[in-house]
Amino acid sequence: MSDLSLSLTGKAALITGGSRGIGRAIAIRLAEAGVNVAINYLRQRTAADETVSLIESHGVKALAIRANVGEAENIHDMVNQVKNTFGRLDILISNAASGVLKPALELTPRHWQWTMNINAGTLLPLTQESVPLMTHGGVIIAVSSLGSVRAIPNYSAVGASKAALESLIRHLALELAPHKIRVNAVSAGVVDTDALKHFPNRDSLLGESSKRTPTGRLTTPEDVANVVLYLCSPFAEQIQGQTIVVDGGYSILA
Ligand SMILES: NC(=O)c1ccc[n+]([C@@H]2O[C@H](COP(=O)([O-])OP(=O)(O)OC[C@H]3O[C@@H](n4cnc5c(N)ncnc54)[C@H](OP(=O)(O)O)[C@@H]3O)[C@@H](O)[C@H]2O)c1
């Protein structure tokens, strides 16, 4: 029998945007696997507090950190708080995202820079701050979307930022492999979270996605979290620099 297991007892994770939606589902899956989890949020303290309670209900430690991942100084302070509380960091999940949803011809330079910075640029300082804590190796996972490789109305800036994110993942994977750090991305199909409220075409997006998805249903936050847990486990030891798509087969259609 192999001694591999999905148990990650005693490890510590930091999840940006871990207070709601996909980030919260990841936080809960990792807590179930025995991980002490720090979640980051920006505005909604109540949601962060609720997630902390959900994490703690699995008998592990939790920490909520308010920080804007678009600010390098905030990232520095956030990782320091993880160090001071858990004394280690084994898993970094770069999940928080933002961005301007508009036709490309209406995007200003500020919209573009903001979106590229939050969704792609942030991973670099997050990694630079986190790697010194990953003294026994680690796992870095970014959450991406199908807009990185497909064209979606109003999604030019976010899609391009996710493409940059997936490229950065590959380069970090190459550079960090000798440090026993695995770096991958999980790219999700449409998931019905609060983020979709910002889409002008939310209802048609949800309706069409669920109708066109070969598995017959929308992807849930838990579907994404299950793959993240797998990537964090020793079962995924040889997966490096990849983007794993979790979309019920939506993206294989012509
Ligand atoms: N929903 C989808 O259909 C879908 C599909 C594919 C990929 N994704 C990706 O999945 C990830 C999570 O999306 P979601 O749908 O779960 O989003 P969500 O439900 O809107 O949650 C967003 C989370 O990010 C935090 N956040 C936002 N801006 C932040 C900032 N500047 N600094 C720190 N935290 C910030 C929010 O904190 P506050 O609540 O405090 O603001 C919240 O915890 C994103 O990378 C997104 O691109 C989503």
Which tokens go with 82?
């993880």
Q: What is the mean pLDDT of residues 210-229?
A: 97
Give the closest residue to 153 by CA, choosing from 119, 193, 104, 108: 104
**What is the spatial distance between Cα 170 and Cα 148, in angstroms, rounded to a whole number?**
14
Average pLDDT, the chain: 96
How buried is 5 (Cβ within 10 angstroms: 0-12 exposed, 13-18 middle, 19+ buried)? exposed
Rounded distance from Cα 1 to ligand 1 centre (Å): 40
Whether the pLDDT of residue 204 is over 90: the answer is no
Q: What residues flank ligand 1, with Cβ below 6 Å?
A: 16-17, 19-23, 40-44, 47, 67-70, 95-98, 118, 143, 145, 188, 190-191, 193-196
Which sequence spans correspond to the domains of the chain?
A: 12-248
Q: Is 155 a catalytic residue?
A: yes
Give the closest residue to 215 by CA, choosing from 170, 176, 250: 250
| Contact (CB, 8 A) for 15 and 71 | no
Which tokens go with 246?
């979790």
CA dist list (Å): 139 to 1, 86, 146:
25, 16, 22
Q: Is 162 a catalytic residue?
A: yes
Q: Minimum mean pLDDT among 27-31, 198-202, 211-215, 226-230: which range?
A: 198-202
Question: Residue 198 has what pLDDT?
Answer: 83
Question: Residue 1 has what pLDDT?
Answer: 57
Nearest atom of ligand 1 to the alpha carbon of 43: 40
CB atoms closer than 10 angstroms to residue 194: 10
Question: Which neighbouring-strand residues pair with 93?
Answer: 15, 141
For residue range 101-140, what is the model confidence (pLDDT) as tens digits?
A: 999 999 999 999 999 999 999 999 999 999 999 999 999 9
Q: What is the mean pLDDT of residues 74-94?
A: 98
CB atoms closer than 10 angstroms to residue 171: 12
Question: Residue 197 has what pLDDT?
Answer: 87
CB atoms closer than 10 angstroms to residue 149: 15
Among candidate residues 102, 162, 180, 230, the one labeled active-site is 162
Pick 12-248's CATH classification: 3.40.50.920, 3.40.50.720, 2.60.40.2580, 3.20.20.70.
3.40.50.720
Name the residue of 26, 39, 41 to mutate for ligand 1: max ligand atoms within 8 A of Cβ: 41
Whether the pLDDT of residue 3 is over 90: the answer is no
What's the pLDDT band for 73 if we cut at 50, 70, 90? very high
Question: Residue 7 has what pLDDT?
Answer: 83
For residue range 133-178, what is the model confidence (pLDDT) as tens digits?
A: 999 999 999 999 999 999 999 999 999 999 999 999 999 999 999 9
**What is the spatial distance between Cα 101 and Cα 70, in angstroms, rounded to a whole number?**
18
Q: Residue 121: CB partners within 8 Å, gap ≥ 6?
A: none
Rounded distance from Cα 2 to ligand 1 centre (Å): 37
